[in-house]
């Protein structure tokens, strides 16, 4: 089973790329972020025509997450618990039946947090604390769990072409990286680093200053796995070629393959 994450940076602007990628890569479950669409205007028909079930948690103009699945949804939960006043659409969980029992997959879009001297950085850290509490509860279920998305965190210096350029940025601040490590400390495994410790693997290249052409990238799109999911991890790939497509997202898909099958 292939589970992928991709910050699409506007689903309506990238719909042709998305449909091409779904046909080409054919993930069983795709987690999208920054769909920038309300639920009613999400282009579900074209995606459903490829054999996917579609669930969204949208927001007008920015944010928004979605799950596209060849498996039927048993359950869908929208919004990260812990703050009833948080109206930003950044979290959706799907539950599916597999040959190993229930599988839980989350598409999440963690706040950017910049500028750090504004309310945005405390919001980011508070969101990560809520995610940590939620994850601890879900881990007690002892089920395969995949937390996939744009974390807006550069975990280590090796995950940036020029780490010194990110010092002081919310994506690389010690507080953000420590919060990410606390998630791992719960028992979650970062999928790519479980199979590949090479430098120079990036998932985001800015549109500005020729970042793509210079390979001036960062790695901020991750899949965190419960022990039950990590035990079934087969491989992880970064589909970098999509960044070279016409009208690309500034992120590329990360795809993990698991020894799971639909029930």
Catalytic residues: 109, 150, 251
Residue 53 assigned ligand-binding role: no
Nearest CA to 200 out of 221, 216, 180, 223 is that of 216
Residue 150 annotated in ligand binding: yes
For the sheet with 2-7, list strands across it.
Answer: 53-57, 65-69, 29-33, 2-7, 254-258, 233-238
User: For residue 66, which of 86, 85, 87, 47 has the smallest C-alpha distance?
Assistant: 47
Question: Per residue, what are the HEC states of 141-172?
Answer: CCCCEEEEEECCCCCCHHHECCHHHHCCCCCC
Is residue 9 marked as binding? no
Q: What whole-number distance in Å separates Cα of residue 159 and Cα of residue 232?
A: 25
251 is in an annotated binding site: yes
> Over the range 188-201, which residues count as b (16 or more CB within 10 Å of their CB) and which as e?
bbbbbbeeeeeeeb
Angle at 68 between CA 64 and CA 69, to 5 degrees: 150
Cβ burial 105-136 (10 Å sphere, 16+ → b, else e):
bbbbbbbbbbeeeeeebebbbebbebbbebbe
Positions at the binding site: 7, 34, 150, 152, 250-251
Positions at the binding site for Mg(2+): 7, 34, 150, 152, 250-251
């Amino acid at each position: 089973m292939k589970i992928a994450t991709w910050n699409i940076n506007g689903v309506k602007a990238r719909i042709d790329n998305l449909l091409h990628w779904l046909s080409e890569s054919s993930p069983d479950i795709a987690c999208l972020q920054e769909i920038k669409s309300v639920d009613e205007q999400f282009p579900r028909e074209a995606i459903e025509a490829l054999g996917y079930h579609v669930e969204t948690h949208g927001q007008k103009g920015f944010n928004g997450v979605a799950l596209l699945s060849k498996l039927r949804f048993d359950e869908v939960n929208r919004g990260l618990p812990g703050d009833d006043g948080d109206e930003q659409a950044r979290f959706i969980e799907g539950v599916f039946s597999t040959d190993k029992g229930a599988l839980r997959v989350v598409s999440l879009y963690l706040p950017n947090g910049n500028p750090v001297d504004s309310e945005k950085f405390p919001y980011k850290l508070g969101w990560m604390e809520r995610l940590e509490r939620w994850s601890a509860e879900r881990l007690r279920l002892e089920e395969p769990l995949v937390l996939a998305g744009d974390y807006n965190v550069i975990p280590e210096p090796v995950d940036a072409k020029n780490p010194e350029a990110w010092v002081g940025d919310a994506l690389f601040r010690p507080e953000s990286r420590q919060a990410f490590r606390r998630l791992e400390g719960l028992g979650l495994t970062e999928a790519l680093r479980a199979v590949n410790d090479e430098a120079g693997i990036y998932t985001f290249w800015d549109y500005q200053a020729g970042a793509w052409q210079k390979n001036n990238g960062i790695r901020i799109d991750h899949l965190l796995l419960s022990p039950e999911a990590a035990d079934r991890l087969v491989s992880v790939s970064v589909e970098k070629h999509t960044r070279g497509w016409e009208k690309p997202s500034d992120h590329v898909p990360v795809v993990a393959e698991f020894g799971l099958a639909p029930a």
